[in-house]
Every structure is written in structure tokens, then in C-alpha cells.
Amino acid sequence: MSNENKTISQFELNLICEYFSNLERQGPGSPEATLKALSFIDNLTENSRIADIGCGTGGQTMVLAQNIPGHITGLDLFPDFITLFNRNAGRLSLQERVKGIVGSMEEALPFKKESLDLIWSEGAIYNIGFERGMNEWNRFLKKDGFIAVTEASWFTPERPAEIEDFWLANYPEIDTIPTKIAQMEKAGYIPTAHFILPENCWTEHFYAPQFPVQEAFLKEYAGNEAAADLIAGQRHEESLYNKYKEYYGYVFYIGQKR
Ligand code: SAH
């Protein structure tokens, strides 16, 4: 969902929402990557309080919940995603300790100062920007609490103009890994670990499941320009990924509040 920051109509927004509601994940990632990030975090008990910000329909949240104790609040802007999130939690009998709420990371978040043991956010911090998110979310963490986010990052100091222009237009804060780590450190965290998400987080877990959804969408919205544009945009993004994946990807950044 990298094109949200353009001005779009309510109809287009609903289309995007419907499209991604059909997918288990709304961004690149995998259960294995979630668990690998979790392996760097060791402070959790059944009293822990965890927030998953920009949780979508909860693909990664349910993986987290099945592997850690404590209470998880998932927060997302789209009510439809939160409905699906809470349905998913119920299906897995996690509803007592996993709750989805509607909210915006643009606004003050509904958490108390120094109340959280862990903040999780996969593929979503870019909505307010990595630096802003790192700075603003810090106050909700207890001292020694952890943050784990994924963020699009450049792997090389330079890259071809086609891919640079595409990402800068859609995701202006994309930057190199050392820059992201320095921003994290400056925002008050010890950068504990980082790793690049493997290619299958994009191909197998993000783009491949979109295929059948695209086919169904094109049938359902035959002749609709906005739907055709949405799908063309997703396919373009995928083709750029295949062409330029050596230059960029998602990186998991894990930090501990100082
Ligand atoms: N974490 C999920 C979803 C990533 S897609 C996954 O990895 O599958 C980005 C998510 O951020 C979407 O669910 C979108 O609805 C949400 N989002 C966008 N702007 C937001 C905002 N201002 N506040 C909260 N969530 C937002």
C-alpha cells in the first residue's frame, strides 16, 4: 500500500481497502520474518502490553500472539481491517488478549506514557514517516521496552533513476540502512538488531496472493477505470521489484528504549 499519500477519492480508498481486505497481509513480510524479529526480544510476560500499529487485518499480529504472552492492541485507520482483525483473533480464540481498535497514527495514540513493553509495526510506520514514528512512539514505551518495525530501505548508496524516482514519489523517506539506524539511535533507542526481509516476503507472501484477487477484481469491476488503475499500479510495483530488488527491500529494525 505504497500510494496512499496521493490525493485519492473515497471510492478509490474503498477499492484499495476492499482489495487488501482479501489478502492475509497488506505489506511484504512473513511469519518466519516476524518470528525472527521476535527472537531479539526477551522481556515479555503475561502482564506485558504490546501495540501493533498499522496492524491491517492482523496477519503478523496473530503470529505474534501465538508466540508471546501478554495483551496486544492492534490499531489501524481502516474500520474494515479492524473488523477482519477481530474476526481473525476470535477464530484463533485469542480475543481475550488480542484486540483491534480503529485509530490513526496521525493523532495522539490511545496509550499511556511508559505503558508498553513492545511496539510492533510492519510496513506501516511510513504513513507518518520512520523518524517521526520512532520519536513519537518512544514515550509510550517503558524503559528497556522494545520497538520492532519494518521500513523500505536502500541497500546501496546509489541506484538507477527509474527505481529511485518511483520510490521517492511514493515513499519519500526511503533511505539507506545506516541512515535509518542513526535515526533510531537519535530517537532514543539502542539499535539491537536489523535484518533484510528475504525475497519470499515480497514474492510468495505479498505479490503471489494478489494474483487471484486481481483476476477477481478485474471481473467484478470490469470497465471501471479506478479499479484497472489500482491493479495496473500493483503490477507495476511488482515488476519494478523483480527488476530492481538488489537495490532495495524491507528491513526489520529492532531497538530497545534507553
Ligand atoms: N501491518 C500489516 C499492514 C501493513 S499495510 C501487514 O504487514 O500486513 C499499512 C497499514 O497501515 C494499512 O493497514 C493501513 O490501513 C494502515 N494505515 C495507513 N495510514 C494509517 C494511519 N494514519 N494510522 C493507522 N494506520 C494506518
Q: Whose CA is nearest to atom 19 of ligand 1?
A: 127
Please report the pLDDT score of residue 6 as a whole number.
53
pLDDT at 2 over 70: no
In angstroms, the CA 125 to CA 51 distance is 13
In angstroms, the CA 90 to CA 112 distance is 26
* Closest-lying ligand 1 atom to the alpha carbon of residue 121: 1
Q: HEC string of the chain? A: CCCCCCCCCHHHHHHHHHHHHCCCCCCCCCHHHHHHHHCCCCCCCCCCEEEEECCCCCHHHHHHHCCCCCEEEEEECCHHHHHHHHHHHHHCCCCCCEEEEECCCCCCCCCCCCCEEEEEECCCHHHCCHHHHHHHHHCCEEEEEEEEEEEEEECCCCCCHHHHHHHHHHCCCCEEHHHHHHHHHHCCEEEEEEEECCHHHCHHHHHCCHHHHHHHHHHHCCCCHHHHHHHHHHHHHHHHHHHHCCCEEEEEEEEEEC
pLDDT at 9 over 60: yes
Mean pLDDT of 54-77: 98
Distance 14 CA to ligand 1 centre (A): 14
* Closest-lying ligand 1 atom to the alpha carbon of residue 29: 7
Banded model confidence at residue 5, pLDDT cuts 50, 70, 90: very low
Pocket test for ligand 1, best of 1, 24, 234 (most atoms within 8 A of CB): 1
pLDDT at 3 over 60: no
Please report the pLDDT score of residue 8 as a whole number.
80
Distance 55 CA to ligand 1 centre (A): 6
pLDDT at 14 over 80: yes
* Closest-lying ligand 1 atom to the alpha carbon of residue 59: 8
91 versus 2: the higher-pLDDT residue is 91
Distance 192 CA to ligand 1 centre (A): 24
pLDDT at 1 over 80: no
pLDDT at 105 over 70: yes
pLDDT in tens, 183-225: 999 999 999 999 999 999 999 999 999 999 999 999 999 999 9
Pocket test for ligand 1, best of 76, 83, 136, 137 (most atoms within 8 A of CB): 76
Mean pLDDT of 145-153: 98
**Averaged confidence pLDDT in the chain:** 96
Q: Is 148 in the pocket of ligand 1 (CB under 6 A)?
A: no
Q: Is 52 in the pocket of ligand 1 (CB under 6 A)?
A: no
Cell reading at 33:
520474518
Cell reading at 58:
492482523
In angstroms, the CA 233 to CA 64 distance is 31
Distance 53 CA to ligand 1 centre (A): 7
pLDDT in tens, 15-46: 999 999 999 999 999 999 999 999 999 989 99
In percent, how much of the chain has pLDDT > 70?
97
Please tell me the pTM assigned to this model: 0.95
CA quadruple 250, 175, 248, 237: dihedral positive or negative? positive
Please report the pLDDT score of residue 54 as a whole number.
98
